[in-house]
Amino acid sequence: MIKANIVTIGNEILSGQTVDTNAAHLSTRLLTINVPVVSSYVVRDEIDAIVRGLELASADADVVLTTGGLGPTDDDLTRQALAKFLGVELELRKELLERIEKFFASLGRQMSEKNKIQAYIPAGAKALTNIGTAPGIMAEYNGKLLFALPGVPIEMKQMFKESVLPELERLAGAQALVVKKLKCFGAGESTIAEMLGTMMQRGRNPLINCTASSGIITLHIIATAGNKEKAGQMAEKDEKLLQSTLGELIYGRADQTLAEVVGEELARQGKTIAVAESCTGGLLAKLLTDVPGSSKYFTYGWITYSNEAKSSELGVPAELIQQYGAVSEQVAKAMAVGARKKAGTDYAISITGIAGPTGGTEQKPVGLVYISVDSENGCDTQRCFFYHGRQFIRLRAAQTVLNILRLKLID
């Protein structure tokens, strides 16, 4: 199996002004042809730093990809560094110069003197065509392949697809790889890891790994085999195994959100939904309407932040609020029932709780949330408790009610 390393070049990455999305793009693409990225380096716009990056990256990989530093300004030093690393001179390629001049002419602009540097390539290297002005560079070094790609994502992606991928597919040959993603909600990373046991062992094929973000657990199944069909079968077999082990904890695939899955199911069943929010203050509706096309099933939402709003908009009796408090099972239920009645939808979901940081009491501390789902089959209310501050409490409350609705919809 051939391996790759990535060198990202640019002060704007090291200063945090730009997030390095190029490395993630290259890694994902390389994985699809079974070329794992072993390590990745970010270096500043200085010749010696770039040369050191090339040395480190070429030490333990068969392929090195760099991005950035091919522009026309003084801090673009990748081609100079590459020449130094290869121990050769830069040479002017007339055909590249003509191409760059033509490029500017086609825009009706004069080529700046600074752009001339982009026609220089290390001796013996090959220029790669770019949709922008800067040609990429391919060079060989001690039997390893080096590719210098532009930092502008759209140019980099195109060049990778057109000039790098075919070279690497030839090099990588035989092995095929299939990656599947499953998304889970309702249990922590460690619980899921325990449920999966030896399935998550390191050397296993398919390899199963696990990442957590904002309460969502993503499982990756990475299957390697002699051909695509075989790898696909292996991944599918594991997918079924995970589904039978984790059951309803798995809510979706690939990059699906809970709101997307709920929305798909509502649309499929021709059902509609309304929401009534107190402590989440619009977040639940926002998550639902993040999904393109959500107007098909989402029609009404109320943010009844004050007690008066709960009464006037959703018909929650003022006495109920007075007797049990705005954060109570009774009020959550009355909100959902009121919202469904008023909106005339199939479902209505409500959230009322104490997101904090203030407003908590001993009996009703910060983090206490009641969530309700009302439908023609009646109203279900749950008492939940969340931690980690206002934003997380709000997010977790919204995710939890979406998950309850999901389970009802697929029941």
Near its own copies by CB under 8 A: residue from 64, 148, 223, 284: 284
Asked if residue 325 binds its own copies (CB under 8 A), the reply is no
Asked if residue 182 binds its own copies (CB under 8 A), the reply is no
Say which residue the tokens 């509706």 belong to: 285
Contact positions with its own copies (CB under 8 A) in 9-38: 11-21, 23-31, 36-38
Stretch that binds its own copies, among 83-91, 120-128, 149-157, 262-270 (CB under 8 A): 149-157
Residue 165 CA to residue 281 CA, distance in Å, equals 47
Q: Cβ of residue 387: shortest distance to its own copies, in angstroms?
A: 7
Binding-site size, its own copies (CB under 8 A):
111
Residue 216 CA to residue 185 CA, distance in Å, equals 5
45 near 76, Cβ under 8 Å? yes
Binding mask 109-148 for its own copies (x = CB under 8 A): ---xxxx---------------xx----------------
Give 88 or 210: the residue with its C-beta nearer to its own copies: 210
Contact positions with its own copies (CB under 8 A) in 86-105: none
Asked if residue 211 binds its own copies (CB under 8 A), the reply is yes
Closest CA to 399 of 163, 214, 210: 214
Asked if residue 252 binds its own copies (CB under 8 A), the reply is no
Chain centroid to CA 59? 30
Residue 334 CA to residue 276 CA, distance in Å, equals 10
53 near 82, Cβ under 8 Å? no
Near its own copies by CB under 8 A: residue from 288, 327, 368, 401: 288
Asked if residue 80 binds its own copies (CB under 8 A), the reply is no
10 Å CB burial of residue 320 (0-12, 13-18, 19+) is middle
Near its own copies by CB under 8 A: residue from 123, 124, 201, 383: 201
By DSSP bridging, strand 378-385 and strand 368-375 are antiparallel
Near its own copies by CB under 8 A: residue from 81, 321, 343, 373: 343
Q: What are phi and psi of 205, to 5 degrees?
A: -130, 120
Near its own copies by CB under 8 A: residue from 154, 171, 254, 407: 154
Q: Cβ of residue 185: shortest distance to its own copies, in angstroms?
A: 16
Give 123 or 212: the residue with its C-beta nearer to its own copies: 212
The amino acid at residue 15 is S
Near its own copies by CB under 8 A: residue from 80, 199, 256, 281: 281
Extended beta strands in 11-71, E state: 37-43, 63-67
Q: What are the tokens at 381?
A: 């209310």
